[in-house]
Structure 1
Amino acid sequence: MIAFTKGHGTGNDFVIIADPDGALELSADQVAALCDRHFGIGADGILRVVRSTAIAEGAATLAEEPAAEWFMDYRNADGSIAEMCGNGVRVFVHYLLRSGLATLEPGSTLPIGTRAGVRDITRSANGYQVDLGLWKLSGDDPLVTADGLPVARPGLGIDVGNPHVVVALAEEAELAVLELHRAPELDPALPNGANVEFVVPGEPLVRDGIGHVRMRVSERGVGETLSCGTGVAATALAVRHWAGEKAPDHWRVEVPGGVLGVRMFPAEDGEHVALSGPAQLVYSGEVDLL
């Protein structure tokens, strides 16, 4: 039996397993079984809470930031390893604080290790803000085919520590009829796959200096989810890119699970993008690990 906690960020849900000393090795099949919504606990992924000193990838974390005691070992629902999760890292930090494993005073920062590098988390008015770091246009701009779209649409590749392809739709009706039970197809296919976001602009796009958009997402290794934090950031970045130089640096992105905030800001090493939103813990229990 292992102890777990269930948590979510705007409906993007996770099974959290505390393994501070790195004693637990989860196979892909075990992760998939835990995340199964019919025969397991049910989740979009697993967050293993492990000290950076107790996981191989933690060496790079500690070299980047010696104060990053904790590492977020994130697995997709199919058991595959993912670099980062914007909703997951907020839930991860919320668990650390609620469990007494870390503290985060107002105005201070908590660094967390991930496979995409160290991510700095602060408190925000609606929960937590995570600095996702540098972003870039990946140069991967495939055509995207999805059930419900009559023709393939061009996508814009955005890298925010993990790969995304963002597709612009013309109206709400196109967003509503999408069928994302099957993963969208990318042409050409990307070697490591990508999360795919479909976005429609708000009416108007900008209100009171803040951009407004709606999106749905298909996450690689998971399928459609109610929210995707890094996908929200990628969506805001893509729409700002399309909108041109006068587009704002603050965005509100509506997903099926709620609303998240995105902010772009200059840093010493280039422009960073930050994501803010809530995190909740739902229940705790024990489960057999087969």
Structure 2
Amino acid sequence: MKLKFFKYQGAGNDFVMIDDRQQTFPISTKLINRLCDRHFGVGADGLILLQNDKEFDFKMVYFNSDGNESTMCGNGGRCIIRFANDLDIASENMTFTAIDGLHHGIVDNNVIRLQMIDVDEVEDHDHYLFMNTGSPHHVEFVEKVDDVDVYNRGKEIRNGSPYFEKGSNVNFVEVMPDNNLRIRTYERGVENETLACGTGITAAAISAYVKNLVDKKSIEIKALGGDLSVNFEENNHKFVNVWLNGPAVKVFEGEIEI
């Protein structure tokens, strides 16, 4: 059969998007892995299904490029907001469900805004921080992020103590003189460095605030694939009204034999 797909990217974090409102997509690890393969398929960091939801505008189902359903993807969430708006499924203000709960999205011209989940707990260790921003994230601050061997160091941390089998995404963050951040991320499930990671960028912004490395709650972050921003509020050591903001654009659409 022929499968119609769409390709979207947010700051270089790219996704195969499927309009699955009829729920006809034949979910299989092998198929999703092949579609995400950059040599034998469409090529992407992940695959996202847009499905109907009884209460909200739609439902987001996210798979990593290894073919396994995964936790929340921030840039994927921003891309599905653009996708839903492009398909006229939702207006410029929308609500949708994902694996981590309810999300709000806003299409503001070229900026796509995604409200992330509240962050109730931040583990502040000597050399790193850990939190769940919809996906688990290990955050380390470094002096020069360009000098980090992200693939090997990230892989070691992702598979080592205390994460082991469940693993964690791993972020290396540099604080710039203007109190903004630069970031590089090793993504679990992709098992490599990606050009951007929305939940990781969110974790980095909150981590910098917790460590008193920045003195503001609206932070610009430069990833390899582009510039994003995070803004949030703090309430009794919890982080609420967390928004991830940045570009999300359609790259192309097509059909592929499956």
Tell me the TM-score normalized by structure 2: 0.90
CA contact (8 A) 2:57 2:94 kept: no
Shift in CA distance, 248/190, structure 1 to aligned 2, threshold 3 Å = farther
* Match of residue 194, structure 2, among 201, 207, 225: 225
Q: Shift in Å at residue 219 of structure 1?
A: 0.7
* Match of residue 178, structure 1, among 149, 152, 159: 149
Task: State how far apart, in whole Å, the 2-side matches of 1:204 and 1:70 are.
Answer: 39
Task: State how far apart, in whole Å, the 1-side matches of 2:148 and 2:123 are.
Answer: 28
Q: Which residue of 1 aligns with 2:242?
A: 273
CA contact (8 A) 1:31 1:79 kept: yes
Task: State how far apart, in whole Å, the 1-side matches of 2:239 and 2:59 are.
Answer: 25
Q: How does 1:1-290 map to 2 (within 5 A)?
A: 1-53=2-54, 66=55, 68-104=56-92, 109-124=93-108, 126-139=110-123, 154-172=127-145, 175-180=146-151, 183-185=155-157, 186-205=160-179, 212-222=180-190, 223-243=192-212, 247-265=215-233, 271-289=240-258
For 1:154, what is the secondary structure of its paired residue?
coil
Shift in CA distance, 275/97, structure 1 to aligned 2, threshold 3 Å = same
The root-mean-square deviation of aligned C-alpha atoms, in Å, is 2.2
Q: Shift in Å at residue 126 of structure 1?
A: 4.2
Task: State how far apart, in whole Å, the 1-side matches of 2:77 and 2:131 are.
Answer: 19
Deviations 1:50-92 (A, max 9, x none): 1125xxxxxxxxxxxx3x1311110000012122111111111
- Percent identity reads 30
For 1:184, what is the secondary structure of its paired residue?
helix
Report the count of equivalent residues.
252
Q: Which residue of 2 aligns with 1:61?
A: none
For 2:151, what is the secondary structure of its paired residue?
coil
Task: State how far apart, in whole Å, the 2-side matches of 1:216 and 1:126 are.
Answer: 23
Amino acid aligned to 1:249: K
Bigger Rg, which one:
1
Amino acid aligned to 1:167: E
CA contact (8 A) 1:31 1:46 kept: yes
Task: State how far apart, in whole Å, the 2-side matches of 1:275 and 1:249 are.
Answer: 12
CA contact (8 A) 1:184 1:218 kept: no
For 1:91, what is the secondary structure of its paired residue?
helix
Q: Shift in Å at residue 23 of structure 1?
A: 2.3
Shift in CA distance, 125/190, structure 1 to aligned 2, threshold 3 Å = farther
Q: Shift in Å at residue 125 of structure 1?
A: 5.9
For 1:40, what is the secondary structure of its paired residue?
coil
